[in-house]
Amino acid sequence: MRFGIGVDVHGFSADRPLILGGIQIPYPIGLAGHSDADVLLHAIADALLGAMALGDIGQHFPDTSDEFRNISSTIILDKTYSLVQQQGYRLQNLDSTVMLEEPKIFAFIPEMRKRIAGILQCDLHQVSVKATTTEKLGFIGRKEGIAALAIVSLTAQEAH
């Protein structure tokens, strides 16, 4: 069994859609980033890479490469999970938290979980997505951006 932790932070940016957990959230601004800036999927990808000691998403999907400009983070997560599977592991459990003051995302969490479970080829009960505020403290409390934390556990795939 292996464990990994991922953290990601993105500031808000005008004229971009807000993408979280692989879905578009209705909100007047999105997140700044080289890709679609899906802070949740980035944290999950980093947790997976960390569990396998494979570096971080910046090494695999550098923001200096035009190949990854505006790439969907669902592709990043899918390619990252393929690396995990190539090493003989699969997801056992994912627990994640999105930290933001706005927008309120509770109603979108079921769709996020389905999207993530589909990418990670697992059952819905293996994927947890939660949201919290920072009680108006710090850059998140000032509504300047969003952060996400993810923890994964991986188990060796059974031989067939």
- Tracing tokens 């589909």 back to the chain, one arrives at 118
Phi-psi region of 42 (alpha: psi -120 to 50; beta: other; left: phi over 0): alpha
Residue 158 has pLDDT above 80, yes or no: no
Superfamily of domain 2-156: 2-C-methyl-D-erythritol 2,4-cyclodiphosphate synthase (3.30.1330.50)
At residue 137, the 3 state secondary structure works out as coil
pLDDT tens per residue, range 92-134: 999 999 999 999 999 999 999 999 999 999 999 999 999 999 9
Per-residue pLDDT of 18-63, as tens digits, reads 999 999 999 999 999 989 999 999 999 999 999 999 999 989 887 8
**Type of residue numbered 51:** A
How far separated are the first and last CA of the chain, in Å rounded? 18
Q: Region 5-20: what's the mean pLDDT?
A: 96
pTM for the structure as a whole: 0.95
Round to whole Å and give the CA distance between 141 and 5: 23
pLDDT interval class at 160 (50, 70, 90): very low
| Geometric angle at alpha carbon 115, from 47 and 33, rounded to 5° | 60
Which stretches of 3-157 are DSSP H helices?
Answer: 39-51, 57-60, 73-86, 109-119, 138-141
- Give tens-digit pLDDT for 52-77: 999 999 898 878 878 878 889 999 99
